[in-house]
Amino acid sequence: MRKLKLTHPDFQDLTDQKAAKVLEILEATQSLLIEEGYAGLSMRKVAARCNMTVGNLTYYFSAKQDLVHILLDVALEGYTDDIREIMADTRLSGEQQLEQALVYIMQDLMTRETTRFFPELWAMANHDPVVNREVQDLYDREQGLIDQLISKVRPDLDGEDCKKLALYISAAIEGHTIFIGHEKGWNSRSAGVIDLAVKNFLDLVRTYERAP
Amino acid sequence: MRKLKLTHPDFQDLTDQKAAKVLEILEATQSLLIEEGYAGLSMRKVAARCNMTVGNLTYYFSAKQDLVHILLDVALEGYTDDIREIMADTRLSGEQQLEQALVYIMQDLMTRETTRFFPELWAMANHDPVVNREVQDLYDREQGLIDQLISKVRPDLDGEDCKKLALYISAAIEGHTIFIGHEKGWNSRSAGVIDLAVKNFLDLVRTYERAP
Amino acid sequence: MRKLKLTHPDFQDLTDQKAAKVLEILEATQSLLIEEGYAGLSMRKVAARCNMTVGNLTYYFSAKQDLVHILLDVALEGYTDDIREIMADTRLSGEQQLEQALVYIMQDLMTRETTRFFPELWAMANHDPVVNREVQDLYDREQGLIDQLISKVRPDLDGEDCKKLALYISAAIEGHTIFIGHEKGWNSRSAGVIDLAVKNFLDLVRTYERAP
Amino acid sequence: MRKLKLTHPDFQDLTDQKAAKVLEILEATQSLLIEEGYAGLSMRKVAARCNMTVGNLTYYFSAKQDLVHILLDVALEGYTDDIREIMADTRLSGEQQLEQALVYIMQDLMTRETTRFFPELWAMANHDPVVNREVQDLYDREQGLIDQLISKVRPDLDGEDCKKLALYISAAIEGHTIFIGHEKGWNSRSAGVIDLAVKNFLDLVRTYERAP
DNA sequence: AATGAATGAGCGTTCATTCAT
DNA sequence: TATGAATGAACGCTCATTCAT
A132-181, pLDDT tens digit by residue? Answer: 999 999 999 999 999 999 999 999 999 999 999 999 999 999 999 999 88
* φ/ψ bin of D210: left (φ > 0), alpha (ψ from -120 to 50), beta (otherwise): beta
How far is the C-alpha of C132 from the C-alpha of C72, rounded, in Å? Answer: 10
Dihedral angle sign, alpha carbons of residues C167, C170, C173, C176: negative
What per-residue confidence (pLDDT) applies to A110?
93
How far is the C-alpha of D153 from the C-alpha of C172, rounded, in Å? Answer: 22
Provide the pLDDT confidence category of residue C212 given band limits of 50, 70 and 90.
Answer: low
CA nearest C11: which of C2, C1, C3, C21?
C21
pLDDT above 90: residue C129:
yes
Domain A9-76: give its CATH code. 1.10.357.10
φ and ψ at residue D103, rounded to 5 degrees? -60, -45
Distance between start and end Cα atoms, chain A? 41
The helix or strand, by DSSP H or E, that contains position C12, with its residue range, turns out to be: none
D133-179, pLDDT tens digit by residue? Answer: 999 999 999 999 999 999 999 999 999 999 999 999 999 999 999 99
Return the ∠ at Cα D173 (arms to D111 and D28), rounded to 5°: 35
What per-residue confidence (pLDDT) applies to C114?
96
Contact predicate A19/A6, CB 8 Å: yes
Any CB–CB contact under 8 A between A144 and chain B? no
Dihedral angle sign, alpha carbons of residues C173, C175, C180, C181: positive
pLDDT above 80: residue D210:
no
How far is the C-alpha of D33 from the C-alpha of D112, rounded, in Å? Answer: 12
Provide the pLDDT confidence category of residue D181 given band limits of 50, 70 and 90.
Answer: confident
CA nearest B38: which of B109, B126, B105?
B126
CA nearest C44: which of B55, A88, D78, B25?
B55
B107-164, pLDDT tens digit by residue? Answer: 999 999 999 999 999 999 999 999 999 999 999 999 999 999 999 999 999 999 999 9
Question: Which one of B112, B132, B168, B173 would you mutate to disrupt binding with A, by most A Cβ within 10 Å of its Cβ?
Answer: B168
CA nearest B56: which of B70, B68, B69, B43?
B43
Contact predicate D36/D106, CB 8 Å: no
Provide the pLDDT confidence category of residue A187 given band limits of 50, 70 and 90.
Answer: low
How far is the C-alpha of C209 from the C-alpha of C123, rounded, in Å? Answer: 35
User: Among A73-87, A176-190, D33-47, whose mean pLDDT is lowest?
Assistant: A176-190
How far is the C-alpha of A14 from the C-alpha of A20, rounded, in Å? Answer: 9
Helix H segments across A94-212? 94-108, 112-125, 129-153, 159-175, 177-180, 187-207
Residue A39 is given by DSSP the state G
How far is the C-alpha of A198 from the C-alpha of C176, rounded, in Å? Answer: 80
CA nearest A149: which of A86, A103, A78?
A86
Indicate the average pLDDT of chain A. 94
**Nearest chain D Cα to C37, which residue?**
D127
Cα separations in angstroms, D63 against A30, A39, D30: 28, 22, 16
Indicate the average pLDDT of chain D. 95
CA nearest A167: which of C50, D2, B185?
B185
C4-24, pLDDT tens digit by residue? Answer: 999 888 888 899 999 999 999
**Nearest chain A Cα to B135, which residue?**
A178
Any CB–CB contact under 8 A between B39 and chain A? yes
Task: Report CB contact under 8 Å: A172, B175.
Answer: yes
Provide the pLDDT confidence category of residue C34 given band limits of 50, 70 and 90.
Answer: very high
Residue B179, helix vs strand vs coil: helix
How far is the C-alpha of B200 from the C-alpha of A171, rounded, in Å? Answer: 13
Any CB–CB contact under 8 A between A185 and chain B? yes
Helix H segments across D50-186? 54-60, 64-77, 81-88, 94-108, 112-125, 129-153, 159-175, 177-180
Residue D61, Cβ density class (10 Å: 0-12 exposed, 13-18 middle, ≥19 buried): buried
pLDDT above 90: residue D206:
yes
Task: Report CB contact under 8 Å: D172, C115.
Answer: no
The yes-or-no reply on B/A contact (3 CB pairs or more, < 8 Å) is yes
Residue D124, helix vs strand vs coil: helix
Chain B 50-109, CB below 8 Å of chain A: which residues? Answer: none
How far is the C-alpha of B119 from the C-alpha of A120, rounded, in Å? Answer: 8
Distance between start and end Cα atoms, chain D? 41
Interhelix angle D112-125/C112-125, rounded to 10 degrees, is 140
Contact predicate D142/D149, CB 8 Å: no
Round and report the angstrom distance from CA (C51) to C1' (F5): 18
Helix H segments across C61-158? 64-77, 81-88, 94-108, 112-125, 129-153
pLDDT above 90: residue A1:
no
What per-residue confidence (pLDDT) applies to D160?
94
Residues of A in contact with B125 (CB under 8 A): 119, 178
Residues of D in contact with C136 (CB under 8 A): 184-185
Domain spans in chain B, listed from the N-terminal domain onward: 9-75, 79-207
pLDDT above 90: residue D10:
no
**Nearest chain B Cα to A126, which residue?**
B116
Is 1.10.357.10 the CATH number for B9-75? Answer: yes
Residues of B in contact with A33 (CB under 8 A): none
Contacts of D145 (CB under 8 A, 6+ apart): D80, D83, D84, D87, D101
**Nearest chain D Cα to C186, which residue?**
D167
Cα separations in angstroms, B120 against B74, B106, B188, C32, C211: 16, 18, 25, 42, 86
How far is the C-alpha of D106 from the C-alpha of D118, rounded, in Å? Answer: 13
Burial D20-38 (b: 16+ CB within 10 A, else e): ebbbbbbbbbbebbbeebb
Burial B139-160 (b: 16+ CB within 10 A, else e): bebbbebbbbbbbebbeebeee
What per-residue confidence (pLDDT) applies to C127?
97
Long-range CB pairs of D129-138 (<8 Å, 24+ gap) are D130/D65, D130/D69, D131/D68, D131/D69, D131/D72, D134/D69, D134/D72, D134/D73, D134/D76, D135/C178, D135/D72, D135/D76, D136/C184, D136/C185, D137/D76, D138/D76, D138/D79, D138/D80
Report DSSP letters for A62-97, one per residue.
Answer: SSHHHHHHHHHHHHHHGGGHHHHHHHH-TTS-HHHH
How far is the C-alpha of C127 from the C-alpha of B147, rounded, in Å? Answer: 70
Residue A202, Cβ density class (10 Å: 0-12 exposed, 13-18 middle, ≥19 buried): middle
pLDDT above 80: residue D188:
no
Any CB–CB contact under 8 A between D115 and chain C? yes
Residue B6, Cβ density class (10 Å: 0-12 exposed, 13-18 middle, ≥19 buried): middle
State what percent of residues in chain D have pLDDT above 70. 98
Contact predicate B183/A182, CB 8 Å: no
Interhelix angle C94-108/C81-88, rounded to 10 degrees, is 160
> C77-207: which CATH topology?
Tetracycline Repressor; domain 2 (1.10.357)
Any CB–CB contact under 8 A between D114 and chain C? no
CA nearest C82: which of C135, C145, C23?
C145
A23-75, pLDDT tens digit by residue? Answer: 999 999 999 999 999 999 999 999 999 999 999 999 999 999 999 999 999 99
Average pLDDT estimate for C146-170? 97
Provide the pLDDT confidence category of residue C206 given band limits of 50, 70 and 90.
Answer: very high
Domain D79-207: give its CATH code. 1.10.357
Provide the pLDDT confidence category of residue A13 given band limits of 50, 70 and 90.
Answer: confident
Contact predicate A125/A135, CB 8 Å: yes
Contacts of A94 (CB under 8 A, 6+ apart): A149, A152, A153
Length of chain B: 212
Domains B9-75 and B79-207 share a fold: yes
State what percent of residues in chain A have pLDDT above 70. 98
φ and ψ at residue A156, rounded to 5 degrees? -75, -15
How far is the C-alpha of B171 from the C-alpha of A180, rounded, in Å? Answer: 9
- If one compares D187 and B196, the residue with the highest pLDDT of the two is B196
What per-residue confidence (pLDDT) applies to D186?
62
pLDDT above 70: residue A186:
no
Closest residue to F5 by CA to C1' distance? B56
Contact predicate D39/C131, CB 8 Å: no
Closest residue to F9 by CA to C1' distance? B55
Contact predicate C41/C29, CB 8 Å: yes
Contact positions of strand E to protein Cβ (< 7 A): 1-20
D90-133, pLDDT tens digit by residue? Answer: 999 999 999 999 999 999 999 999 999 999 999 999 999 999 99
